[in-house]
Amino acid sequence: MTNNNITFLEQIIPNNLFCSTNAQKERLYLSDTLEITQFLLTLEHDTVYVVTFDFIFSWMMYDEDQPVISLTKPILITKNSNPRVISKYLNNRIYEACNYYYLDDSSLDLDKNNAPGILINYSKINLF
């Protein structure tokens, strides 16, 4: 899953219906390969996860019910997924979102306290 290309959940489960009762969350301060690698290391071996990514424009404002932008449809990852593929994909989606919603992409370089970032929502899934 997601070794050379992004694998979408709808490629495996075509009905586009997935319900998670115990999703976990992780924060990234954007999508560099090191942060993605560290996240992947926390995952269990031989387990597939369904993941969604939300763009948070400001972590300081996030707890105040600020709107978020969903960056992608649910994708599938494992501990062995390629962090460079995921990072490149997320960076492209962030810049597409900035262009689409007329957001100032120069704000992506702020300090970590007020910087935008990515909220990862992930859950284990049993495909077989």
Q: How many residues does the chain have?
A: 128
Does residue 7 lie in a domain region?
no
The reply to whether 70 falls in a domain is yes
Query: Residue 12 falls within a domain, yes or no?
Result: no
Range of the structural domain that residue 73 is part of: 23-125
User: Per residue in 36-81, pLDDT tens?
Assistant: 999 999 999 999 999 999 988 777 666 667 778 889 899 999 999 9
Collapse the DSSP code of 120 into the 3-class scheme (helix H, G, I; strand E, B; otherwise coil) and give the result.
strand
Q: Quote the tokens at residue 114.
A: 């007020």
pLDDT per residue as tens digits for the range 10-43: 888 877 566 666 789 998 877 688 999 999 999 9
| Residue 51 domain flag | yes
pTM of the model: 0.82
Task: Say how many domains are in the chain.
Answer: 1
Half-sphere exposure of 44 (CA within 13 A, CB side): 8
pLDDT at 84: 93
